[in-house]
A = this chain, B = another copy of it.
Amino acid sequence: MNIVEFFELSSGKWFSQRTSHHLDFKPSEAGKSDLVIEMVDLADPAVVKLCQQCRIDPALALCGARAKWNGTMEPGGKKYAGSTLLVPVADPENPNQGQLLSESGAAGKTPSLGRYVVGDDDAVTLITEDKTLYAEERLWFASPNLRLRTSVLKRSSGFSLASFCSEIRMGVSKPAETAPPKA
């Protein structure tokens, strides 16, 4: 699998269950959201603008993908919603890894420049890092209709959060995949 195929397989509408474990023993949080992922044309002005903001030649962009979510977090019933545009740009010497450009579209937010790595096991690792925060997310498909994600957040004081999402494709009319996933 390459990163473009990964985003293509991710396209669609998902029901996402999220759990965050605070590693300082605070109570964990649970969220449920609708998640929609769609491919965005490379000629889309938003893709071109994001590349330009990150000083990347838009011709190097491999694809564009937009994720939108809308959900509720417990305890408290807090609503959360947002969207992110993602654009991968491969390293010239290694197409299985590269830069990942992203922007939330929120006013005042600057684009973010992270890294992606596609593993031999077809899992995708996304890394964003600045002076105070290191975030690593791992995404993989247990089947075409079940996507899993884990993430860890690390601050200067050490790891602070570990999260898990299980995402079920919605509106699938064919039966569940029955062949075991490869180990």
Binding site for B on A (CB under 8 A): 15, 17, 19, 21, 23, 25, 28, 30, 115, 117, 119-121, 125, 127, 129, 134, 136, 142-143, 146, 148, 150, 152, 154, 156-159, 162, 164, 166, 168, 175-178, 180-181, 183
CB–CB A176/B158 < 8 A = yes
Give 21 pairs: A residue, B residue, CB < 8 Å, sorted on A. Answer: A15-B25, A17-B162, A19-B28, A19-B30, A19-B164, A21-B166, A23-B166, A23-B168, A115-B183, A134-B180, A136-B180, A142-B162, A143-B159, A146-B159, A146-B162, A148-B150, A148-B152, A148-B162, A150-B164, A152-B181, A158-B175
CB-based nearest B residue for A25: B15
Q: How far is the CA of A159 from the CA of B82 in the complex (A)?
A: 28
